[in-house]
């Protein structure tokens, strides 16, 4: 196979959830730049429209679809609208989520439940609807779940968040094993400290006194750029990963090694 054809996403169509900002916005733009059509999905309509508009202005193809991933009907509607707009649906990056920086002793039951609902149950619902769509259509598909290295490392004040992401990792393995017979692949990416944080913990890791403590613990010596998550995402969604499923890839500058 010619090198130029590797990881080709031309004429493919994907959904990216949580795409109105941060990692999701970066990945949506990156997939569009790789030739794919993208449904920019998220809870804030104006943000999704801005990202989709920027993609279109750059020559790409995108639609904005406001939705709440916790709502099963809205997940199904997102899939239907994407297929209607692009005539196909080849994969999805399930990236939405919220953060909570709270000592376990101070975390309320409601806050813990909210973490599980927003970061795990909604992932299951979105994946289930994707799986139903592809099984019914008799076509293959690829899902990339956005996890975190907090799924297997213990961080201060991230008990609820870490548990929710540990669930994402197991969801990846479970769905990959169950759905391989349908040609559906499921893989996960676990970012470490990045240059942008998710909703709920924005700015915490940018404080100079915090960075002074964190940076020496990262072998690469820096936070990751959002763009550095794109290569793995493209790989998992492409045909080059046709025999890769149920895998977790840490992208954390070596943080989880030491």
Q: Which structural domain, as residue segments, surrounds residue 35?
A: 9-253
| Domains: count for the chain | 1
Structure pTM? 0.94
Q: Residue 188's closest CA among 165, 212, 216, 158?
A: 165
197 falls within a domain:
yes
Q: Residue 145's closest CA among 257, 23, 38, 248?
A: 248
- Which residue intervals of the chain are DSSP H helices? 22-33, 45-57, 72-86, 109-116, 122-137, 159-179, 208-214, 230-237
110 falls within a domain:
yes
Q: Is 161 a catalytic residue?
A: yes
Q: Give me the average pLDDT of each 10-residue run along the chain (258 residues).
A: 69 97 97 97 98 98 97 98 98 96 96 97 98 98 97 95 98 98 98 80 77 94 97 97 98 96
154 falls within a domain:
yes
pLDDT of residue 14: 98
2 falls within a domain:
no
8-state DSSP, 218: S
247 falls within a domain:
yes
248 falls within a domain:
yes
What CATH code is carried by the domain that includes residue 189?
3.40.50.720
194 falls within a domain:
yes
Pick the catalytic residue from 123, 133, 161, 223: 161
234 falls within a domain:
yes
Check: CB of residue 30 under 8 Å from CB of residue 55.
no
pLDDT of residue 1: 40
pLDDT of residue 27: 98
Q: Residue 175's closest CA among 163, 165, 187, 164?
A: 187
User: Angle 226-227-233 (CA atoms, 0-180°, nearest 5)?
Assistant: 100
Phi, psi of 238 (to 5 degrees): -85, 170
């Amino acid at each position: 196979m010619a090198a130029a054809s590797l990881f080709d996403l031309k004429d493919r169509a994907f959904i990216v959830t949580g795409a109105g900002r941060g990692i999701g916005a970066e990945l949506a733009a990156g997939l569009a730049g790789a030739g794919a059509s993208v449904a920019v999905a998220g809870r804030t309509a104006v943000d999704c429209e801005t990202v989709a508009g920027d993609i279109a202005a750059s020559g790409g193809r995108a639609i904005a679809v406001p939705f709440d991933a916790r709502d099963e009907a809205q997940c199904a509607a997102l899939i239907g609208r994407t297929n209607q707009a692009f005539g196909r649906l080849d994969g999805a990056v399930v990236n939405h989520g919220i953060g909570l920086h709270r000592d376990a002793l101070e975390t309320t039951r409601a806050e813990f439940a909210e973490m599980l609902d927003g970061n795990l149950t909604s992932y299951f619902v979105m994946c289930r609807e994707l799986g139903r769509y592809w099984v019914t259509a008799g076509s293959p598909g690829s899902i990339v779940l956005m996890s975190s290295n907090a799924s297997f490392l213990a961080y201060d004040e991230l008990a609820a968040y870490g548990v929710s992401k540990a669930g994402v990792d197991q969801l990846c393995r479970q769905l990959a094993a169950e759905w391989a017979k349908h040609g559906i692949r499921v893989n996960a990416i676990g970012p470490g400290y990045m240059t942008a944080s998710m909703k709920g913990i924005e700015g915490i890791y940018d404080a100079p006194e915090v960075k002074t403590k964190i940076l020496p613990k990262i072998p690469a010596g820096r936070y990751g750029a959002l763009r550095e998550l794109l290569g793995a995402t493209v790989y998992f969604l492409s045909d080059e990963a046709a025999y890769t499923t149920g895998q977790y890839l840490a992208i954390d500058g070596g943080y989880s090694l030491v």
